[in-house]
């Protein structure tokens, strides 16, 4: 069999599926039309056992091979983002304010493509394959992965694979790394309360904005002076709301931010020090403060043996030059929860052809090259067919 040729033969079908998904994106927990499309395509194949409405609109589809062997899971996330699309694509989003800016339409299509090919090769398949279509990946800190796992998505599974489209990699390249690939992602909210007064008489009040500014500045010393410089830590405060009028000393201020880490120890340090810094600022200013720290996604930690297996398959399918050893990113993915339960790997697959402008994920102009579709489908198929040999 020639996996690449077979994948190229279904490219037009893959494009049609992806474009329909792209035109009708749905945000987390609202993926009804998306799930209906997936079920429609799976039923066309005729040999998948389909379970619907898993953890909301999630889907599990199982294909039994002709020969005994282990069960491999392929996972795709389904949801889109609350972003107004600004591409010039003829199939741009028709849902105002919603866009597949993270490429999940491609993920769904590639796993469906693998399903099409594996359905064709069922008589050559050793073991079984499970397709997992997961809602709400973007819904940090909870996400959809934990719910899928709780409802049995990984029962009987021996290994799990995922791919994420990656604009920083050229089309045709696959990025892999053993160990931490993407960061743990936590969300925190801080409320600082002071005492309002006239702006001309600040001595009669307690300024929550000044205390908040001191807190923002002091948190960066957690990174620069408390954390091991050889272990990654990012603390970003992206939202501040405070005050009611320009000539009133603010009585309250709310801040929201995120911590990104790879190490559990650094994660614990960040949470502890945020509370200690807040306590210190409140003592200094006379304010009161409250920290609400929510642990979100775990770090994506790729299994060494499974990563080596995938690396070998990338090279055998696409050639030695297709494999790229990548550095980790501080972005997050709830695929980490699957990897916490089963050995597996998340790979990055390049989407930018030579000469094309690079737009990042979560950008309103992101438009991955569609030739990633047959490539991802082929690689998923290769991984499944070779796993039990």
Residue range 166-205, pLDDT digits in tens: 999 999 999 999 999 999 999 999 999 999 999 999 999 9
Helix ranges (DSSP H) in the chain = 3-9, 11-23, 32-45, 104-120, 145-150, 208-221, 264-285, 304-318, 336-341, 372-387
On the question of pLDDT at 306 being above 70, the answer is yes
d(CA 286, CA 283): 5
Q: Is 24 a catalytic residue?
A: no
- Among 121, 297, 309, 366, the active-site one is 297
Whole-number pLDDT of residue 194: 98
Delimiting residues of CATH 3.30.70.360 domain(s) in the chain:
184-297
Q: Please state whether the predicted TM-score (pTM) of the whole model is above 0.85.
A: yes
* Assigned token pair, 80: 């889109």
The terminus-to-terminus CA distance of the chain in angstroms comes to 15
What mean pLDDT do residues 39-46 have? 98
d(CA 302, CA 69): 23
d(CA 145, CA 137): 7
On the question of pLDDT at 1 being above 70, the answer is no
Whole-number pLDDT of residue 142: 87
Q: Is 31 a catalytic residue?
A: no
On the question of pLDDT at 235 being above 90, the answer is yes
Asked if omega into 9 is within 30° of 0 (cis), the reply is no
What mean pLDDT do residues 338-353 have? 98
On the question of pLDDT at 141 being above 90, the answer is no
What mean pLDDT do residues 361-383 have? 98
- Topology of the domain covering 3-183+299-387: Aminopeptidase (3.40.630)
Delimiting residues of CATH 3.40.630.10 domain(s) in the chain:
3-183+299-387
- Among 9, 276, 294, 370, the active-site one is 370
Residue range 307-329, pLDDT digits in tens: 999 999 999 999 999 999 999 99
d(CA 268, CA 175): 29
184-297: CATH number: 3.30.70.360
What mean pLDDT do residues 12-37 have? 98
């Amino acid at each position: 069999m020639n996996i690449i040729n077979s994948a190229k033969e279904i490219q037009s079908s893959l494009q049609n599926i992806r474009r329909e998904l792209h035109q009708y994106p749905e945000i987390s927990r609202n993926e009804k039309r998306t799930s209906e499309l997936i079920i429609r395509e799976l039923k066309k194949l005729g040999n998948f056992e389909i379970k619907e409405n898993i953890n909301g609109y999630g889907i599990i589809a199982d294909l039994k091979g002709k020969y005994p062997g282990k069960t491999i899971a392929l996972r795709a996330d389904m949801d889109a983002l609350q972003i107004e699309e600004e591409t010039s694509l003829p199939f741009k989003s028709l849902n105002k304010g919603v866009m597949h800016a993270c490429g999940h339409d491609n993920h769904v299509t590639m796993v469906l493509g693998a399903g099409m090919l594996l359905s064709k090769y069922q008589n050559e398949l050793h073991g079984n394959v499970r397709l997992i279509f997961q809602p709400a990946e973007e819904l940090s800190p909870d996400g959809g992965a934990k719910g899928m796992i709780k409802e049995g998505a990984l029962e009987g599974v021996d290994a799990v694979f995922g791919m994420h489209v990656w604009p920083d990699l050229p089309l045709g390249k696959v990025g892999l790394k053993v160990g931490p690939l993407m960061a743990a992602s936590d969300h925190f909210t801080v409320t600082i309360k002071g005492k309002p007064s006239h702006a001309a008489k600040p001595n009669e009040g307690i300024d929550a904005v000044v205390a908040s500014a001191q807190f923002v500045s002091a948190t960066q010393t957690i990174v620069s002076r408390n954390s091991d410089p050889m272990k990654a830590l990012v603390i970003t405060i992206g939202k501040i709301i405070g005050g009611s009028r320009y000539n009133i000393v603010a009585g309250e201020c709310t801040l929201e931010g995120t911590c990104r880490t790879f190490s559990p120890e650094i994660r614990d340090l960040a949470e502890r020090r945020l509370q200690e810094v807040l306590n210190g600022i409140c003592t200094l200013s006379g304010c009161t403060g409250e920290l609400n720290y929510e642990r979100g996604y775990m770090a994506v930690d790729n299994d060494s043996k499974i990563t080596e297996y995938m690396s070998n398959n990338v090279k055998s399918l696409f050639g030695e030059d297709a494999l790229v050893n990548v550095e980790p990113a501080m972005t997050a993915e709830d695929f980490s929860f699957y990897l916490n339960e089963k050995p597996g790997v998340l790979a990055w697959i390049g989407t930018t052809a030579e000469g094309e402008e690079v737009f990042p994920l979560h950008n309103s102009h992101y438009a991955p090259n569609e030739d990633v579709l047959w490539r991802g489908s082929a690689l998923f198929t290769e991984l499944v067919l070779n796993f039990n040999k």
